[in-house]
Structure 1
Amino acid sequence: MTRKLYYEDAYLTAFDTTIARTGQDDNGFFVILEETAFYPTGGGQPSDRGALNGAPVSGVEEVDGDIRHYLEEPMVVGGTVHGEIDWARRFDHMQQHCGQHILSAVMEDRFQWQTTSFHLGEETVTIDLDTSELLEETLAEAEAEVNRLILKNIKVETAWMTAEEAGKYPLRKKLAVTENVRLVMIPGVDYNGCGGTHPQATGEVRAVKLLGWTKNKGQVRLEFVCGERLLGQFGKKHRLLTELKQLVARPEEALPEEIVELNEKSKEKDKYILDLESKLIGYEAKELVEQGEQKQFLSAVYQDRSIKQLQALGQAVLNETTDACVLLVSEQEDALQFVLACGSGLDRNMNDVAKQVLPHIEGKGGGKPHFVQGGGKKRIKADAFVELVKNIV
C-alpha cells in the first residue's frame, strides 16, 4: 500500500518516490506511488493538486485502496518522481476543514443541532444542520463562539487507534470504520473520526465568517468561509461597495435605503414606459386599420420585432375592427415570427391556416381559433409569406 505522507506531516510540500504501478480509467492516465503527500478526495474534502516531475496532477482519488494520481500523459513503472504539492490549495483545505469541525461542534453543543453533511467547495463551504431554520441572533452567537475558540489557538491532535479506544472519547458521530480509526481531536471542543488534513492549532484557521443559509430537504444548509477565503470575500465585497459609493454619493450606511429608492423609481419608470407603449400600439393599430389597402385582410412586416409586441398589436387591431383578418410578421436574420388573427365577425379558424403555411418555414405554432402565433426558419421572404397566407385566408 502507498505510504500516506500527508498523515505523517500535513505541512510536507515536496517529496521524492518511485512509481509502483500505472494505469488508465475514465478519468485518464494515473500512477500509483510508493509514497505520496497528495491527499485524495474523501470525507467532503477535495483532493490536492500539484505536479509530478513538473507534470500537472489534475486529481487524486483512492480506488480500492490504491491512490491514483491523474496525469495528462502516462509515466513509466519504476521511474523516480519528484512530487510538489500546491500548498495554497492544501492549506486552504486545512483551514476550511478545521473550521468546519469547530463550527459543527459549536452548533451541537450550543443548540443541539448535528451536522449531517459537509461540502468543501471551490469558493465557500457548507454544512447541513438538522434544524428547519436559523435566526440572525443564533448565527451571531455561533460565529462569535467559533472565533473565540479559534483565537484560543488550541492544539489540534491526531491519533490512530482501534474503534474500542476511540469509543472512550466523546465522539460527535458514529465511526465509519471499525479499525485503524484516525481520531482528530481539538481538546475540550471536538473529537471526530476524520481522514482530512488539519492545521496544528486552531489559530491557523484565523477566523470564520457565516455567510447565510438556505433550506435543503427539511434541513438548513449553512454557508461559511475560513482563513484566506474570508479575506478574499472581504476584499470582493469591499471592492463592490467602493464601486457603489462611486455611483451613489451617499454614506455606506445609507446605501441600502438609496438602492430601495432607486428600485422604486425604476419600477415607476417601467410602468410609465409600459403605459406609453400600450398607447403607441393603440395608435399603431388604428393607423393599420385606417390605411389598410384591403379592409378584410390587414398585414404588416417588421424587422426584429418581438412576438410579444406582435401579440399586443394584433389584439389592439381586433379591438378596432371585428370583420378583418390581420397578419403581423417579424423578419429576423434567420427566422420569421408571426401573429395571425381574425375578428369576431368572421367565421375563420386561424389554426387551419397556420397548419398550411408553417411547413413553408419549417415552423411550429398554434393558439385559439381566432388568434394564433408561430415561427420558423426564414425559408422565404416575409412579403412572400404574407402573400401565401393571404391566398389561403
Structure 2
Amino acid sequence: MSIRNHKLFYKDPYLKTFETKILKQQQDKKGDVYITLEKTAFYPTGGGQPHDIGTLNGVKVLNVEEVDGEIRHYIERALPHSDDKIVGIIDWERRFDHMQQHAGQHILSAAFAQLYNIHTVGFHLGNDIVTIDLDLSELTEEIVGKAEKLANDMIMLNRPIVTKWIEYDDLVNYPIRKTPSVKENIRLVMIDDFDYNGCGGTHPSATGEVGAIKVLNWERQRKKIRLSFVCGNRVITQFDQKQKVMVELIGLLNRPEGELSEAVKRLLKNVKKLEKELLESNEKIIQYEANDLLAKSTIQNDTVVIIETFSDRSIQELQKLAKMIAEQEKRALIFFLSENDNRFQLVCGRGEANKMNMRDLMQETLSLIDGKGGGNKMFAQGGGTASLTKEEFMKNVMNIIATQVNSEETLLKGNFNRLL
C-alpha cells in the first residue's frame, strides 16, 4: 500500500472517523502498549507538528509516532485480541487547531520571505503558542507589523491551499521557499502565487480557515530571532486572557484602558522609591542594633565578644549586622545564631585586629549539628537542623569560643545567661 493510501490524513485531513484492521499489538522497550493499523487517520509527531489523539475502539490514543516506517498508536490499555475491526475517532478540536497553526506558519513565514527575504529556519507548534526561528539577529516593530498584515490579508483572500505529490526532479518547476530535506515522496503545500513549500503536516483547504494571525512577541536566540504567534481559535483565547487582565487592571488602578501604561509606570516609580526608603530605614535599624550589641559586649584578653541569638532572621541580615560591628570594633569576635523553622542559621565574624580564624570556628560549631557552611578567615556562615536545643548548642559554642580566646568559661557565663 502506498504512503498516500496508508496515511488517511493526507487523503482527507478533515476525516474524523475511520474503520480499519489491526496489524499488530505489542509493547515497546519501555513497556508501553502500541498497535499498528492497516491504515490510519492519526497524524504522528513530525515536522514540528504534534501528534493527534483520540480513541481506537473506545480506548484512548495517548501518542502517535512513526518508527522505521510504521505508525505506532500508543494506547491507554491493550485491546482485546478478539478485536479485528478497528474504529478510530480523531480528537477533531486538536486536529483542526493544528491545521490552523501549521497553515498560519506557512503564511507568516512566506510573508517574511516575500517582503524582506527573511527565511524561517525553525518551527515548533506548542500547546499554547507557535514559534518560528528567523534567520536574522535583529527585528523591528515595522517589519513584524507589515509581515503580519500581509499574512492576514492572505487569510482574508481565502485562497485555496492545495497539496501535491511530486518527484525531487520536479522541484525546479516550482518557486520553492525552502528545499525539502527528503529526496522522495515529496509533498508540496501550495498557496497559488504566494507560497510553495514541502511539508508533511495537515492543513485546511483554504487560507480563510486559518482565521487570523497575531504575533505575540520575539526574542533573540543564538543569533536568530524566535518569534511567537497564534492563529485561528488561539487568537480568541489570547484575546480573552488579555481582556480579563485588562479589566482587572482597570479596576485595580482606577484608570481607563488608555491610561493604564502611564499608571503602571507611576506605580513602579513609587514602589522603587519606597523600596529605597525601606532599605535606608533598615540600614539605620541594623546600625542601631549593632551599637546596642556593642554596648552589651564583654571584653576578654583584648577581644570584644559579641554573642547573640535570634528567631526568624535571615542569614543576609545577620551577615550585614556582623559586618557593621566588625567595621566599628576592630577587636570584635561575633557569633550569631537564628532559629528558623527547626533549623539553626549561624554567622560568625571578626574585626581586623582579631586574628581568630572564623572558618575554623564555623566548622567546629557546625560539627555539633552536622551542618554545612563555609567562609574565610574574616567571616563565615552555615546552618543545619536544630538537633540540639538552642540552650545546649549555645553552651557548646561558649566553650569553643572561651577556649579560642584563652579565657575561662565562667568569664562568658554572664553573657550566656543574658541570652537565655
- Specify the TM-score bucket, using the shorter chain as the normaliser: over 0.9
TM-superposed CA distance for 1:344, in Å, is 2.7
Matched residue, 1:217: 222
Is the CA contact 1:163–1:178 (under 8 Å) kept in the aligned structure 2?
A: yes
| Cα distance change on mapping 1:176 and 1:345 into 2, 3 Å | closer
Is the CA contact 2:344–2:386 (under 8 Å) kept in the aligned structure 1?
A: yes
- 1:84-103 pair list within 5 angstroms: 84-103=89-108
**Are 1:253 and 2:261 an aligned pair?**
no
TM-superposed CA distance for 1:286, in Å, is 1.7
**Are 1:281 and 2:289 an aligned pair?**
no
Work out the CA distance in 2 between the residues paired with 1:178 and 1:314.
71
Runs of 5+ unmatched residues, structure 2: 402-420
Is the CA contact 2:123–2:131 (under 8 Å) kept in the aligned structure 1?
A: yes
CA-to-partner distance for each residue in 1:105-156, whole Å, 9 max, x for gaps?
Answer: 1111110111111111111111111111111111111111000001000011
Work out the CA distance in 2 between the residues paired with 1:200 and 1:24.
37
Is the CA contact 2:166–2:188 (under 8 Å) kept in the aligned structure 1?
A: yes
Work out the CA distance in 2 between the residues paired with 1:368 and 1:165.
72
Residue range with higher mean Cα deviation, 353-362 or 300-309 = 353-362
Matched residue, 1:337: 345
| Cα distance change on mapping 1:322 and 1:387 into 2, 3 Å | farther
1:367 to 359, 371, 375: 375
TM-superposed CA distance for 1:354, in Å, is 1.6
Matched residue, 1:229: 234
Work out the CA distance in 1 between the residues paired with 2:355 and 2:123.
65
Is the CA contact 2:325–2:332 (under 8 Å) kept in the aligned structure 1?
A: no
Is the CA contact 1:353–1:389 (under 8 Å) kept in the aligned structure 2?
A: no
| Cα distance change on mapping 1:231 and 1:96 into 2, 3 Å | same
Work out the CA distance in 2 between the residues paired with 1:41 and 1:27.
20
Residue identity matched to 1:135: T
Is the CA contact 1:50–1:84 (under 8 Å) kept in the aligned structure 2?
A: yes
Give the TM-score normalised by the residue count of structure 1.
0.96
Work out the CA distance in 1 between the residues paired with 2:382 and 2:182.
62
Matched residue, 2:307: 299
Matched residue, 1:49: 53
Identity of aligned residues (%): 45
Residue identity matched to 2:325: V
2:6 to 3, 6, 19: 3
Is the CA contact 1:361–1:380 (under 8 Å) kept in the aligned structure 2?
A: yes
- Partner SS, residue 36 of structure 1: coil
Work out the CA distance in 2 between the residues paired with 1:34 and 1:370.
75
CA-to-partner distance for each residue in 1:220-239, whole Å, 9 max, x for gaps?
Answer: 11111100001111110011
| Cα distance change on mapping 1:38 and 1:107 into 2, 3 Å | same
- 1:117-136 pair list within 5 angstroms: 117-136=122-141
Give the TM-score normalised by the residue count of structure 2.
0.90
**Are 1:389 and 2:392 an aligned pair?**
no
Matched residue, 1:199: 204
TM-superposed CA distance for 1:58, in Å, is 0.8
Work out the CA distance in 1 between the residues paired with 2:161 and 2:351.
80
- Partner SS, residue 59 of structure 1: strand
- Partner SS, residue 340 of structure 1: strand
Runs of 5+ unmatched residues, structure 1: none
**Are 1:153 and 2:158 an aligned pair?**
yes
Work out the CA distance in 2 between the residues paired with 1:222 and 1:312.
44
Matched residue, 2:412: none
Is the CA contact 2:210–2:231 (under 8 Å) kept in the aligned structure 1?
A: yes
2:142 to 115, 133, 137: 137
1:19 to 6, 19, 22: 22
Work out the CA distance in 2 between the residues paired with 1:52 and 1:236.
34
TM-superposed CA distance for 1:343, in Å, is 2.6
- 1:295-334 pair list within 5 angstroms: 296-334=304-342
TM-superposed CA distance for 1:27, in Å, is 7.2
Work out the CA distance in 1 between the residues paired with 2:198 and 2:328.
77
Work out the CA distance in 1 between the residues paired with 2:354 and 2:48.
68
Is the CA contact 2:156–2:208 (under 8 Å) kept in the aligned structure 1?
A: yes
**Are 1:107 and 2:98 an aligned pair?**
no
**Are 1:82 and 2:87 an aligned pair?**
yes
Work out the CA distance in 2 between the residues paired with 1:27 and 1:5.
28
Work out the CA distance in 2 between the residues paired with 1:286 and 1:71.
71
TM-superposed CA distance for 1:248, in Å, is 0.7
CA-to-partner distance for each residue in 1:13-64, whole Å, 9 max, x for gaps?
Answer: 1112221111222371101011111100111100001111221111100001
Residue identity matched to 2:399: N
**Are 1:39 and 2:39 an aligned pair?**
no
Matched residue, 2:413: none
Work out the CA distance in 2 between the residues paired with 1:324 and 1:52.
77
Is the CA contact 1:150–1:203 (under 8 Å) kept in the aligned structure 2?
A: yes
Residue range with higher mean Cα deviation, 332-341 or 201-210 = 332-341
- Partner SS, residue 123 of structure 2: strand
CA-to-partner distance for each residue in 1:143-178, whole Å, 9 max, x for gaps?
Answer: 110000010000111122222234311111112222
2:167 to 155, 162, 175: 162
